[in-house]
Amino acid sequence: MAFEARPFTVEIPQSELDDLAKRLDLVRWPEKETVTDWTQGVPLAEARRVVDYWRNSYDWRRCEAQINSHDNFLAEIDGLDIHFIHVRSKHEDALPLILTHGWPGSVIEFLNVIAPLTDPTAHGGTADQAFHVVIPSLPGYGFSGKPTGTGWGVQHTSEAWHKLMLGLGYDRYVAQGGDWGSAVTTAMAINRPEGLAGIHLNMIVGAPRTDTQMADLTDDEKAKLQKMQHWSAKERGYSEEQSTKPQTLGYSLVDSPVGQAMWIYEKFHGWTDRTTDSPADSFSLDEILDNIMVYWLTATGASSARMYWESLNKWPSDMNDLPTAYSAFPGEIFVPARRWVENRHSNIVYWGELDKGGHFAAFEQPEAFVAELRKAFATMR
């Protein structure tokens, strides 16, 4: 499929940054939480700390320059503009790789892994570990277009990503993803488009089959199942709201920068591998705010949530027999047992278990993430 890849530069008008500053100055705070932890959400003192830094110290132009230091493009696929970063390796035999983020992530997650993936010889690797890297923004996310009709869920996106790779001239490639990126990448594997050689996931769905696997759970599996059940019972409210009433939610997220920021910041607390009670234990405030700014400046609070409306209860469930690799980061939302995963993925060629890291693997542990991809795709080249 041929298409025109139009060069794109992120250029946020100063008026947008001035408007943000005014809104932050006029924030109306809720009262303090009635607990001493995060069980009611982001504590007021933490929110005030983040917003004070955002208003008085944060520099968007630094982030903008970092994004623009790579080649950015827009391409119309199925009537929708898709934004993507595309960096080719200097090594001719590099393996084309498409990386897909999820919510509440963005292409920001992958900025620090581009160089070691495309230029491994300068980052502790060898030439035969090189990748050509493609990093798209999901439909309705970041700098991609916002769908004006229904249908842009996981399945449609997975088909669009194949068209993107073919349009860039890659007739053989691999795919990687976490969160919604995991769903899109899994759907690509199930589709088995000609040219997709295999996939890597840093979040994978799997549960015990009640008829055969519940009766003999190991202690480790019991702990994994308990973690999954806790998330389902106590932590998935955001997904229920986004999957049922994304438009109503959008009025708050698109209008209030603090509302949008805390909607995301809470997840950087709950989904990372921390040793303290602050997300800044795993990321700098600059990094977290870079990601939040992509949502705020593009006003994608509603459009990004619609992926949940489209696909939350339609996670790819058919058997995938394409070569599949998985890296388990301990701070992930849930980490299923391998035999549960094999209920859906019959051709697991690599299974890595890390001792540190969480949901935003490439963002939180870039060196470990790169090492995992090098090992995972070694057998798929």
CATH number for the domain spanning 237: value is 3.40.50.1820
Helix axes 180-191, 301-311, angle to 10 degrees: 50
Which of 119, 179, 273, 290 is the catalytic position?
A: 179
Q: What is the mean pLDDT of each run of 10 residues along the chain (381 residues)?
A: 88 98 98 96 96 98 98 98 98 97 98 98 98 98 98 98 98 98 98 97 88 81 89 90 97 98 96 80 91 98 98 90 97 92 95 96 97 97 92
* Contact of 155 with 180, CB cutoff 8 Å: no
Q: In terms of residue numbers, what domain contains 140?
A: 6-10+42-380
Number of Cβ within 10 Å of residue 92's Cβ equals 9
Peptide bond into 330 cis (omega under 30): no
Which of 265, 308, 326, 350 is the catalytic position?
A: 308
Question: Is residue 173, in this structure, part of any structural domain at all?
Answer: yes
Question: Is residue 276, in this structure, part of any structural domain at all?
Answer: yes
Residue 173: which H helix or E strand, with range? Answer: strand 173-177
Question: Is residue 181, in this structure, part of any structural domain at all?
Answer: yes
Question: Is residue 22, in this structure, part of any structural domain at all?
Answer: no
Question: Is residue 24, in this structure, part of any structural domain at all?
Answer: no
Question: Is residue 33, in this structure, part of any structural domain at all?
Answer: no
Distance CA 179, CA 127 (A): 30
What per-residue confidence (pLDDT) applies to 315?
83
Question: Is residue 30, in this structure, part of any structural domain at all?
Answer: no
Contacts of 285 (CB under 8 A, 6+ apart): 50, 53, 54, 58
Distance CA 49, CA 261 (A): 12
Which of 86, 101, 162, 359 is the catalytic position?
A: 359
Total domains in the fold of the chain: 1
What per-residue confidence (pLDDT) applies to 257?
98
What per-residue confidence (pLDDT) applies to 1?
59
What per-residue confidence (pLDDT) applies to 232?
85
Distance CA 224, CA 226 (A): 5
Question: Is residue 263, in this structure, part of any structural domain at all?
Answer: yes
Distance CA 10, CA 6 (A): 13
Q: Is 308 a catalytic residue?
A: yes
Distance CA 45, CA 277 (A): 13
